[in-house]
Amino acid sequence: MTIRFSEEVLLSLLSEETGYFLPIPEWKMSCVLAGSVLIDLSLEDRIDSDLERLMLVDPTPTGDEMLDPVLEEIAQDTETRSPQYWVERIARRSDEIGNAALERLVEAGILQTDAGGFWSVSSRVARSKRYPTADGESRVEIKTRIMRTLFDGEIPGPRDIAVIGLLNACGGIHTMLEPEEYETAKERIELIGGMDLIGRTIADAVRSSYRPPASMRSVRRRSIPALGLYGLLSSRTFRSGNIPKFMAEKAKELGPVFRISAGGREFTVLAGVEMNRWVGRKGRLFLRTRDYLEDFQREWGTARSIASMDGGDHFRMRKAVRAGNGRAVVEDRLDEVLALGRRSFAGWGLGSRITAEDACQRMVAEQVARLSVSFDPGDILDDLLRFEYRALLVHVHRILPEFTLRTPAMKRAKAGVLELYAQIHATHTPAQREGKRRDLVDDLMDLHQSDPQFLPETDLGFAFIAPIIAGHYTASALGFAIYEMLANPGLHDRIAAEADALFENGDPAAGDLDPAAIDVTRRFVMEVLRLYPVIPVHSRTAMNAFEVEGYEVPASSTVLVAFPAAHFDGDYFRDPDRFDIDRYAPPRDEHRQTGAFVPFGIGTHMCGGVQWTELQLAVNLLLIARHLELEMVPANYRLKISPLPKMSPRKSFKFRVKRYRHPV
């Protein structure tokens, strides 16, 4: 690829410690990206500039989709403008420029990103410290070039001069370096930044560009539409418990930003596809996770967890647990998943009325516990589930008083949880784990041993059981899936056909579960996750005031990111209330629209176990379809949703095992 200035600027600002870019004021960063495009156009001999004027030299398109829209805009303007004018005007395109630059770097194999939106250089670039280029050669990566120029006395090329000038203009060089390094190199930075006329001109324009303060921007004075208690209770959708659909309806009525005031509390809601895209791009700069979980975590005896960490700490924790939360865990221990599933079936009993939510909770939790912590918690799972639900209702949803956690039953449940902490810890000594496949607890213990300040002993216990808690959400999704399988006999038969083909010659291996072999099951799972997102909103605190859709959201506001509201937007999903697995197949591919299909959240706190969860759900559905013929009780039952403490099928949804298709 031809590496453009905007791409090298982003690469120079990427922090491998935080997985994101160094904190540059948003307007300055927008101006730097605008200036980067102007410098590229200058090097392509399309424009020229002095300190007073920016002149068009050649309007012929460059063939670069990142440069040509800017060139066209300059060519269409009949007046002669200053470089600063064009920097500020093009800065409005900064999101477009930045996104295009990142996409190109990923396509070139220079950058990679994970599900949470964290960025890192590819392993190839990290090893070689070089970028591939269009001519088949390679170029030393930008950070190395900058450091050699500033501290080793290397003579910089024109590109490096311009990059250093731009970074210096926005404060990026100061942020990149340690204070003593910056003081040492300060004079050389200023000298190099002034060597190139066009680069100096653009850098000066970036440095002096001005964005009016909030009080002078009238767009911020709009009042956010508000919704009160009556607006909640008068909605049939809200009363039905379908919170994501309710949020989608209100977003259509009030716009994607609105307020809910009820019970003495006020929330700012961000709902819809555009809001999901905004949160994915900028949420980490303005939204903090910690606050709403503080009391909940303290109840479990921990100060913080991966769910409440932000920024660099969250990125570090995600990397530490990535292997233990990955799809490979389910694949490598598929035989255990199948065995535990069959053990659950044996307990259901032929002809017995089974409460779907309870059965799925135990089935999934046993699997997750075995795979994550290599431990069979037995009846302690019931204590864990009871205590978790009560703690959520008290400390997160705040609809029960705190004394309800101090009842004798809750004290016994909490004692069971503390016993679970101790038992998991005791089974993960080096001697106990010798010769066994690593699990999540092994990774956590290594992190604790290497940095007990980052992951102290007081936080270990909750970290051990966090995946089991997350499994409670997967279990509710499985309950919804069973309902839809029984409500759609045609789809059930197609899933059963896939299961029979897979199990025909014995239990399948992980390699047999390729997308073609489980195509119907895979798309069925996706549609369940779309129609029944078990987490309807993410609660965040606005740590910095921000503007979105022309509204100002003040710092310290409680923000509800209603990310799955997008699932009910008819502009993105045809007939969104209908269960339709064909929406995930060509040519429709409705899930491929950015920000539209987000069942696992959006932004840096997107679930790290996405592939694990999707595979676990698919395997369990295939196993059910292979062995059991179920029927709804009663046969005409219509699903009812329980919205708290998460979306789940109500206990009124029951089924019975009518017969065994194949022996358990």
pLDDT for res 217: 46
* 37, β-bridge pairs: none
Looking at the structure, do residues 93 and 205 belong to the same domain, yes or no? yes
Confidence of residue 219 (pLDDT cuts 50, 70, 90): very low
Residues 361 and 479 placed together within one structural domain of the fold: yes
CB atoms within 10 A of CB 392: 19
DSSP calls for 388-440: HHHHIIIIIS--S-GGGGSSHHHHHHHHHHHHHHHHHHHTTSHHHHTTS---H
pLDDT at 216: 43
Q: What is the structure's pLDDT at 139?
A: 84
Is the pLDDT score of 218 beyond 50? no
Q: So what's the pLDDT on residue 132?
A: 82
Q: Which residues contact 333 (CB under 8 A, 6 or more apart)?
A: 370, 371, 437
* CATH number of the domain residue 200 falls in: 1.10.3630.10
Residue 244 in this model has a pLDDT that exceeds 90: yes
Does residue 448 lie within any of the structural domains? yes
Domain boundary among 152, 183, 211: 211
Residue 205 and residue 336 in one domain? no
Q: Is residue 218 part of a domain?
A: no
Domain final residue pick, 211, 240, 260: 211
Tokens 């990290």, located at residue: 126
φ, ψ (nearest 5 deg) of residue 136: 85, -5
465 and 320: one domain?
A: yes
Query: What band does 135 get if pLDDT is binned at 50, 70 and 90?
Result: low
Q: Mean pLDDT, to the nearest integer, of 236-259?
A: 96
CATH code of the domain covering residue 607? 1.10.630.10
Average pLDDT over residues 2-21: 89
| Winning range, highest mean pLDDT, from 17-21, 188-192, 278-282, 327-331 | 327-331
pLDDT at 474 over 60: yes
Domain-located, residue 392: yes
- Measured in Å, how far apart are the chain's first and last C-alpha atoms? 56
What is the arithmetic mean of pLDDT over 185-198? 85
- In the predicted model, what is the mean pLDDT of residues 588-597? 96
Residue-wise pLDDT for 403-426, tens only, equals 999 999 999 999 999 888 989 989
Q: Please tell me the least confidently modeled range out of 167-181, 449-463, 526-540, 563-577.
A: 167-181
Which backbone phi and psi does 45 adopt, to 5 degrees?
60, 35
Same domain assignment for residues 198 and 331: no
Is there a domain that residue 642 lies in? yes
**Mutual angle of helices 142-151 and 158-170, in 10-degree steps:** 90
Task: Report if residue 389 sits inside a domain.
Answer: yes
Q: Are residues 352 and 498 in the same domain?
A: yes
The residue to which tokens 């999704």 are assigned = 477
- 205 and 318 both lie in a single domain: no
Q: What is the pLDDT of residue 204?
A: 84
Q: What is the pLDDT of residues 449-472, one digit of tens each?
A: 999 999 999 999 999 999 999 999
Q: What does the pLDDT average to over 219-224? A: 63
How many alpha carbons lie under 13 Å from residue 601 in its C-beta half-sphere? Answer: 20
pLDDT at residue number 454: 96
Please compute the mean of the pLDDT values over residues 142-154 and round it to a whole number. 91
- β-pairing verdict for 226-227 and 14-15: unpaired
569 part of a folded domain: no
Tell me what the mean pLDDT of segment 580-588 comes to: 97
pLDDT value of residue 194: 80
Length of the chain measured in residues = 664
**Mean pLDDT taken over the chain:** 92
Claim to verify: residue 333 and residue 207 sit in the same structural domain: no
CA distance 17 to 503: 45
One domain, residues 340 and 205: no
pTM beyond cutoff 0.75: yes
User: Position of tokens 């910089």?
Assistant: 156
Domain count within the chain = 2
Query: Is a pLDDT exceeding 80 seen at residue 116?
Result: no
DSSP string, 531-580: H--S---EEEEESS-EEETTEEE-TT-EEEEEGGGGGG-TTTSSSTTS--
Please report which confidence band the pLDDT of residue 220 belongs to, taking 50, 70 and 90 as the band edges.
very low
Same domain, 358 and 492: yes
Among residues 70, 87, 100, the alpha carbon closest in space to that of 35 is found at: 87
Residue 212 has pLDDT above 60, yes or no: no
| Whether 64 and 197 share a structural domain | yes
Inside any domain, residue 268: no
List the domain range (segments joined by +) for residue 432.
Answer: 314-530+596-660
pLDDT of residue 1: 62
Residues 205 and 342 in one domain: no
567 in a domain, yes or no? no
Per-residue model confidence as pLDDT tens digits over 338-392: 999 999 999 998 999 999 999 999 999 999 999 999 988 887 888 999 999 999 9
Which domain-ending residue is among 183, 211, 239?
211
The least confident of 41-45, 212-216, 589-593 is 212-216
